[in-house]
Amino acid sequence: MKKIILMLAVMIGVLFGGDFDEAEKEAEAENYTKAIKLYQSASDHGDPKASFYLGMFYLLGSMGLEKDRKRAISLWYKSADLGYVDAQNALGLMYRDKYKDYAKAIEFFQKGAEQGNPQSEFLLGHMYADGMGVKQDYAKAAEFYQKAADQGYVMAQNNLARMYRNGQGVKQDKVKSYQFYTKAVKQGSIDAQKNLDILCKESPEICKSITQKATIHSPNK
Distance between CA atoms of residues 204 and 206, nearest Å: 5
Averages of pLDDT over each 10 residues, the chain, 221 residues: 46 58 93 95 96 98 96 98 97 97 98 98 98 97 98 98 98 97 97 96 91 61 47
Which residues, in sequence order, are CB contacts of 145 under 8 Å at separation 6+? 121, 122, 125, 129, 156, 159, 160, 163
Instruction: Give the pLDDT confidence score for residue 20 in this predicted structure.
Output: 92
Instruction: Give the pLDDT confidence score for residue 139 in this predicted structure.
Output: 98
Domains and CATH numbers, the chain: 1-62 (no CATH), 63-216 (1.25.40.10)
Element containing residue 158 per DSSP (H, E): helix 154-166
Q: Structure pTM?
A: 0.87
Instruction: Give the pLDDT confidence score for residue 18 in this predicted structure.
Output: 74
Instruction: Give the pLDDT confidence score for residue 214 in this predicted structure.
Output: 62
Instruction: Give the pLDDT confidence score for residue 212 in this predicted structure.
Output: 77
pLDDT digits (tens, 9 = 90+) for 56-75: 999 999 999 999 999 999 99
Are 156 and 123 in contact, with CB atoms under 8 Å apart? Answer: no
pLDDT digits (tens, 9 = 90+) for 67-100: 999 999 999 999 999 999 999 999 999 999 999 9
Distance between CA atoms of residues 167 and 126, nearest Å: 16
Instruction: Give the pLDDT confidence score for residue 211 in this predicted structure.
Output: 80
Instruction: Give the pLDDT confidence score for residue 11 in this predicted structure.
Output: 46
Which residues, in sequence order, are CB contacts of 31 under 8 Å at separation 6+? none
Instruction: Give the pLDDT confidence score for residue 218 in this predicted structure.
Output: 52
